[in-house]
Structure 1
Amino acid sequence: MFLATLLLLLPFFLFVSRSFFRMHRKQLPPGPNQWQVLSYLSELMHKPHFKLGNQLMVVASSPDYAKEFCRTHDGIFSGRHLPAVYHYLQGTIGSSIVLSPDCGKSWKLLRSICQNCVFSSRVVESSAWMRKTKAKEILDHLRGKDGEVVNLEDLMFATLANMISSVLTSRDLFVINGGAAKGDNYEVMMDIVNEVIEGTTAPGLVDFLPILKGVDFWSKGKAKDICRKIKLTWGDIIQERKSFGRENPSSNRDFLDTVLSDTTFSDDQIGNALMEILIGATDTTTITSVWLMVELIKNPEMLSKVRDEISQAFKGDELNESLLSNNCNYFQACIKETLRLHVPAPLLVPHRATEACKVNNYTIPKNSMVLVNAWGIARDPSYWEDAPIFKPERFLESKIGHRGTHFEYLPFGTGLRMCPGSTVAFKNIQILVGSLLHYFDWSLPNGEDISSIDTNEKYITTLKKEKPLLLVSRIREQNVVG
């Protein structure tokens, strides 16, 4: 057994040695050498911050370096570094927005379609009624669960997924109605979406050691399973639209209408694009909503301020999105502070150098993986007073915004590859969490002290709450759901 293991590892060590001496001749950014990395290989598989195998990782951990990579040299570092499994998915190349390997023609077309059909100010404003409707559905569900323990994280995920899928396809993915999630749709769809997220974003060993590509059966098998799940999610919806058209032909064209009208997209490509947008618009937004609930529940005085602000704005009327945006400044500050303290994607989506580039006299070789340490920057005491503390007041008088123009605060990234849905995310979070706080009181199961709420995190490619958010909801009698 030992001899077989040694023979398998010998090519790897030879490859590492050759790479080390070749890379040593270049003026690379400072960092540990490959032999040091080998000493904590298992840790780096879960916290990839440096160099693994022959893959050079460059980490920008200051606003100045984030600006160098994402503005000064934005074009060069606008490529994406993709997990091996992604290359085996049918129709992915040429049908991706977030994970497109470069900003080529197909990326520009899809991004333009997505901007016009999903993220434009016209669409965002015209879909306010839909967000309100979806928020009411989760409120109705919780009214039927009064006093019971609910998995609030799953419910928020399903609600946010319905918000984006309604814009994409004029259809809900999850059924949340009348106090119960009906049928198997809810749990099945949740499992599918979560498996696709982890399968397409989490790197495998071959991503750091391409020498193993010839025996990488895991990536091929995983890609096949992911393709099946994407078709299970979107296949019937696509075919139904192609065969029967829209239920309401007089309404505005949605994203699915637009991509179907362009005959260059295959069904696989359309399914991939739909799944990518769904995940991009739902997963990180759910993470932020969960942490926002946790932070406010942990801090009763802050929660009271938010509720008073909402009540003053509505004066007993049903939730109004424009009032939430314009009149609830403290609530907005709480959302911004949550995005600072709990950056959903702590290293953003990995960038790739499309060609060699000099950055502050350091050589960044072509195809280097570039990570922007948004988590570290957002907690750096050099830029943030009381950095580890949840302190919404810091944003009340601050001009720092979330649109990627302040490099000490990059929850949605910046530059060419900035998330196009930041405005939609804010709207979705405020109407969902605002509704939950306004109409319900929240406590831990079994009467546990709220200060003991679990705040441990787990990192895959996003930074989530380690354990599900299980809470008991109680209807606030002074408020009536409109």
Structure 2
Amino acid sequence: MQMEPIAIYLFVSALFILVILKIKTTNSSSKLPPGLWKLPIIGNLHQLAAGGPLIHKVLRDIAKKHGPLVHLQLGHVSTILVSSPEIAKQVMKTHDIVFASRSQPLSAKIISYDSANIGFAPYGDYWRQMRKICVLDLLSTKRVQSFRSLREEEFSGLATLLASHAGSPVNLTQMLHATMLGFTSRAAFGKKYQNQEKFISILCELLKVGTGFNIADFYPSIKWLQDITGLRTKLEKLHLEVDSLLDEIIDDHIADDNNNTSMHEDLVDVLLRVQNDRNYEITRNNIKAVILDMFAAGTDTSATTIDWTMAEMLKNPSALKKAQEEVRRVFSEKGYVDESNFDELKYLRAVIKETLRLHPPAPLLLPRLSRERCVIDGYEIPQKTQVLVNAWTIGRDSRYWEDAECFIAERFLDSSIDFNGNNFEYIPFGAGRRMCPGMSFGLANVELPLALFLYHFDWKLPNGMKHEDLDMSEVYFGVTVRRELNMHVIPIVSKPV
């Protein structure tokens, strides 16, 4: 009987401690943004998987129900979902430095030499150095302009190829991707290499494998998951092959040593020159990581944007007619298309802007990572929280865009909204410190082929298809979203190529 008071005391004390812990846990979690109910271990992964393969639309539906700032538990990865311009501004401007780092998926670590590229490098001295190299040397306005003759040669060649198939259906999607890869190869390497076709083939397979769904990324502390899926082995094998080919290309550039001027340097030349500059410390692997970045970010996104733009114009014949009339008027006296008069193509640029509003190449911006605790909209965002910004949803926000689901290029004709990340209702290239540094390079590769297509050709859909029947279904290819069906069209020569 003497033990009874002690037992009661211990029981009450234990109960009190449990209540306090529960209150603390509840208070801590209540500071997080609202979220969905979660299952043990997997969190919200099952809800994302059940929504279908178009994850940007699944996340759009979640935001509609739970608000513009939502907490998701993706396996072991605490994540916030951003779905409004106001919250995006807080993440990418007000607290940009806090959210300036990146998550580190397995594929980035392997493909990009331990995340040594611009896209996935963690925020710090190395990333700042590489960003500076990109802005001042690799992707500067002057550098983009230096590739003008190469662009005109490559895309005029595509126009000639289309003319040779005039009156017959062509797979424009395949042609676009092949031409864009060819241009990027020449811009990067300066000439055609013996193993260039092999390099492109292996690289495409590497990017396809590496940018898909990987369950191990949601459980980064469980290392054996990386092995049992077989993904690590496959990525490492493909990466070794690409690495060997890149070594050949770099060695060839070093041996060549032909003292190219800055106006004729290819991208490998630029990186090797920068490497010899005492102001920078970059390794051979750093150079290879940046080259792969150029291919990954610079080819698929540009070709996909052209494909979507052509699809939207074919779907909206009045827009196609206006764009054709403008291009043909601007270049009628000259008789051919070059980049010197592109500032006069107001309507075509509006068409491109509207396409990127509806179809940003990467609907979900590359995930950011919080470097420290932060408060957004009254909610606590802990350190090392992953941030997903749904640029696709933001670009269709009806509070900012009238008839948000409709293609209306005219909305941009008298608008000050641009690509530079200052208008958070329109962020196809992101904003802030981690904004895409290759924006100018990519846009130049979109404008020229579209102008050539509009100047030289009229366009018909095959098999008597009506414009309203054109399928605009989406499918993921890595982080980009393409049209599910390739673009089959009939080019009809209007102006000789």
TM-score, shorter chain, exceeding 0.5: yes
C-alpha distance in 2 between matches for 1:461 and 1:271: 21
Match of 2:216 among 185, 206, 212: 206
Do the aligned partners of residues 245 and 141 (structure 1) sit closer, same or farther apart at CA in structure 2, a change above 3 Å counting? farther
1:56, distance to aligned residue in structure 2 (A): 1.4
Do the aligned partners of residues 66 and 424 (structure 1) sit closer, same or farther apart at CA in structure 2, a change above 3 Å counting? same
Cα pair 1:118 1:167 within 8 Å, conserved: no
- The residue identity in structure 1 corresponding to 2:120 is L
- TM-superposition CA deviations, 1:7-45 (whole Å, max 9, x none): xxxxxxxxxxx9xx9687331011113227255352368
Cα pair 1:34 1:52 within 8 Å, conserved: no
Corresponding residue number in structure 1 for 2:7: none
C-alpha distance in 2 between matches for 1:384 and 1:85: 36
- TM-score, normalised by the number of residues in structure 2: 0.83
Corresponding residue number in structure 1 for 2:37: 33
1:295, distance to aligned residue in structure 2 (A): 0.7
1:167, distance to aligned residue in structure 2 (A): 3.2
C-alpha distance in 2 between matches for 1:267 and 1:70: 32
Cα pair 1:67 1:407 within 8 Å, conserved: yes
Corresponding residue number in structure 2 for 1:79: 101
Do the aligned partners of residues 23 and 98 (structure 1) sit closer, same or farther apart at CA in structure 2, a change above 3 Å counting? farther
Corresponding residue number in structure 2 for 1:480: 496
Find out whether 1:152 has 2:172 as its counterpart: yes
- TM-score, normalised by the number of residues in structure 1: 0.85
Corresponding residue number in structure 2 for 1:238: 250
Corresponding residue number in structure 2 for 1:295: 312
- The residue identity in structure 2 corresponding to 1:214 is W
1:259, distance to aligned residue in structure 2 (A): 2.4
C-alpha distance in 2 between matches for 1:250 and 1:54: 48
Corresponding residue number in structure 2 for 1:225: 237
Cα pair 2:216 2:225 within 8 Å, conserved: no
- TM-superposition CA deviations, 1:331-369 (whole Å, max 9, x none): 110000000011111111111111221222211112111
Within 5 Å, give how 1:14-29 maps onto structure 2. 25-26=28-29, 27-29=31-33
Do the aligned partners of residues 170 and 346 (structure 1) sit closer, same or farther apart at CA in structure 2, a change above 3 Å counting? same
- The residue identity in structure 2 corresponding to 1:25 is S
Match of 1:53 among 72, 75, 86: 75
Do the aligned partners of residues 401 and 249 (structure 1) sit closer, same or farther apart at CA in structure 2, a change above 3 Å counting? closer
- The residue identity in structure 2 corresponding to 1:466 is E
Within 5 Å, give how 1:5-404 maps onto structure 2. 25-26=28-29, 27-35=31-39, 37=44, 39-40=46-47, 42-43=49-50, 46=53, 47=55, 49=59, 50-89=72-111, 91-93=113-115, 95-102=116-123, 104-171=124-191, 191-217=201-227, 218-231=230-243, 234-246=246-258, 252-261=264-273, 262=275, 265-316=282-333, 317-324=335-342, 326-404=343-421
SS at match of 2:35: coil
Do the aligned partners of residues 150 and 228 (structure 1) sit closer, same or farther apart at CA in structure 2, a change above 3 Å counting? farther
Percent of aligned pairs with the same amino acid: 31
- The residue identity in structure 1 corresponding to 2:209 is G
Cα pair 1:92 1:269 within 8 Å, conserved: no
Cα pair 1:117 1:254 within 8 Å, conserved: no
- TM-superposition CA deviations, 1:373-427 (whole Å, max 9, x none): 1111110111100000000010011111111000000010000000112222222
- In the alignment of these two chains, the number of paired residues is 447
Cα pair 1:90 1:227 within 8 Å, conserved: no
Cα pair 2:472 2:483 within 8 Å, conserved: yes
C-alpha distance in 2 between matches for 1:79 and 1:251: 33
SS at match of 2:458: strand
1:78, distance to aligned residue in structure 2 (A): 0.7
C-alpha distance in 1 between matches for 2:469 and 2:244: 40
Corresponding residue number in structure 1 for 2:468: 451
- The gaps in structure 1 that reach 5 residues or longer are 1-17, 174-182
RMSD (Å) for aligned C-alpha atoms? 2.7
- The gaps in structure 2 that reach 5 residues or longer are 1-20, 60-71
SS at match of 2:223: helix
